[in-house]
Amino acid sequence: MDDLIFIVAITLKSSPAVLLASLGELISERGGILNLGVEGMMLVGALAGFVTARQSASLALGLCGAMAAAGLLALLHAFLCVHLRADQVISGLAVTILGTGLSSFLGRPFIGQTGLHFSSIGGTWIDGLPLIGPLLAQQNLFGLLCLAAVPALMYLLGRTWLGLYIRAAGQDPAAADAAGVPVAAIRYGCTLFGGCMAGLAGAYLSLAYTPGWKEGMTGGQGWIAIAMVIFATWHPLRALLGALLFGLLNALQFYFQATGIELIPAYILHMLPYLLTVGVLVLVTVLEKPVLGSVPGALGKPFSREE
């Protein structure tokens, strides 16, 4: 039983970064912009979040800092893709390289420093709750709040005019434009939102999960988030499922380490998130029939009114 609680608790704790980043990417792609810059944006967000929180002594400001820094990179991506109609793949890769380089250069003085961080909510009345008490005790407020983003985005996409505009801009920008949807503005907004979410995801790592700054600390979670959007077939609820799956693999790794029972070698577990991603891509491509409803038809395609 304790083992199970341990695994579930770690699963919950290690999934929010991927969840946030993939939800952001999901909105961006629903609007028609593929953002391969997530990894870079997460790194920049992680550093900016950590540094801002440390200097201002405020976690809230830290989160704002993370969103602002990653949001700036997202604006660059949006400017290239929406305004200049550049190739989205190339622009996204450039942003990742830029973000990785920038964060490792600017972050050098902060390596090994300590700062503020979100602490777990244990040690209060929560411990006493039956069953979920010990589970929740190890979580922090930030990570739990992330879960609220899932229903919020489902509501936004399905039930509001803004969601309708986003879906239209990603499905058929020419038709959306003809109907009076400000396609460029929507796409800018979606990309910016995706960037801010990636920034928050980075900040989760540097302010909650493994407090502190370490070069390349995202460890490829940005790429996993992008794959998870496909796994989720562009649906927020399934994105949560994907993120939890990622968290579970992570937790198993810890569990085997802690107990010394190596059912599956650590190396394999290290590889699993990536293997899972590959597997998911294959599966989605093979089984694409029943889930095609929400695939943004114009994903990755620049839009201009002249054509």
Partner 1 sequence: MSLPSSAPAAPILELDGISKRFGPVVANRRIQLKVYPGEIHAVLGENGAGKSTLMSILAGRYRPDTGRILLDGQPVSFASPAQALARGIGMVYQRFMLVDALSVVENLLLGHARGRFRLDIDAACRKIASFSQAYGLAVDPRKTVRQLSMGERQRVEILKLLLRQARILIFDEPTAVLAPPEVESFFRVLRRLSRKGHTILFITHKLEEVLQMAQRISIMRQGALVATLTPRQVSSRRELARLMVGREIVLNVHKQPSNAGEVILAAEGLRARDDTGQVLFEDIRLHLKKGEILALTGVAGNGQSPLAAALAGMPPAFEGRITYRGRPFENSRWQRRPKPNMVYIPEDRHTTASVGPLSLTDNFLLTRLKNFRRQAHLARGRARLATGDILTRYGINAPAGPQSLARQLSGGNLQKFILARELDRRPDVIIAESPTSGLDVRATEEIWRLLLQQREQAGVLLVSGDLREVLALADRVAVMFRGRILATLSTARAEQVARIGLLMAGVPEKANRHAIEA
Residues that bind partner 1 (CB under 8 A): 159-162, 164-165, 167-168, 171-172, 174-176, 178-181, 288-289, 292-293, 297
Closer by beta carbon to partner 1, 26 or else 225: 26
Nearer to partner 1, 2 or 307 (CB): 307
265 three-class SS: coil
Residue 291 CB, shortest distance to partner 1, in Å, is: 11
Token pair, residue 58, equals 């405020």
Indicate the DSSP class of residue 210.
S
User: Least distance (Å) from partner 1 to the CB of residue 236?
Assistant: 17
* DSSP annotation of 263: S
Q: Nearer Cβ to partner 1, position 85 or 159?
A: 159
Amino acid at 47: L
Q: Which C-beta is closer to partner 1: that of 93 or that of 295?
A: 295
Q: How far is the CB of 197 from partner 1 (least distance, A)?
A: 20
**In the complex, minimum distance from the CB of residue 193 to partner 1, in angstroms, rounded to a whole number:** 16
Tokens of residue 73, six digits = 């990179």
Nearer to partner 1, 185 or 268 (CB): 185
* Closest separation in Å from C-beta 292 to partner 1: 7
Q: What's the distance, Cα to Cα, between the start and end of the chain in Å?
A: 62
The DSSP secondary-structure symbol of 32 reads: T
Q: Which residues of 244-264 are buried (b: 16+ CB within 10 A; e: fewer)?
A: bbbbbbbbbbbbbeeeeeeee
With H, G, I as helix, E, B as strand and everything else as coil, classify residue 57: coil
Nearer to partner 1, 101 or 151 (CB): 151
Would you say 73 and 98 are in contact if contact means Cβ atoms under 8 Å apart?
yes
